[in-house]
Homo-oligomer: A and B are copies of this chain.
Amino acid sequence: MSKQKIAVQVAGGCCAPISEAALDAEGAAEGAAVFKALADPIRLRLMSMIASADGESCVCDLTPPFDVSGPTISHHLRVLREAGLVDCERRGTWVYYWPVRERLQWISALLATPASASA
């Protein structure tokens, strides 16, 4: 699959860090969608495995560490893909995933805050 176009267009963000200006409804919806994709322990671990790997990750390596079925991992990878956080490609028998670092950078920057201020 992977070559089907699922969402994933906007890699970079759309808004200033939340500490600088309040998000409008539209920006909040896009940001919340990305956070929702990371709001599951399994998906967050998958994301970290893919992001920390040097290059690409094979689904066959991503599945074993978890106590859930293959289809469930496949489902979670799909959610990450639809959020634009990872992308994938089939090569021969196996499917490989890699991180979309611009997207990660964007949400990271969205949460960045000026060290401290008030409280």
Contact = CB atoms under 8 A, between A and B. Distances in A.
Interface residues of A, number: 51
A32 to B, nearest CB: 4
Contact of A52 (B22, B52, B56, B105): B22
Given A35-B38, A39-B39, A108-B108, A101 B87 contact: no
Interface of A: 18-25, 28-29, 31-32, 35-36, 38-45, 47-49, 51-52, 54-56, 87, 98-102, 104-105, 107-119
Given A108-B113, A118-B54, A23 B44 contact: yes
Given A18-B44, A31-B44, 17 more contacts: A18-B51, A18-B52, A20-B52, A22-B49, A25-B41, A28-B44, A32-B43, A32-B44, A39-B39, A99-B113, A101-B115, A101-B119, A104-B113, A105-B112, A107-B111, A108-B109, A108-B113
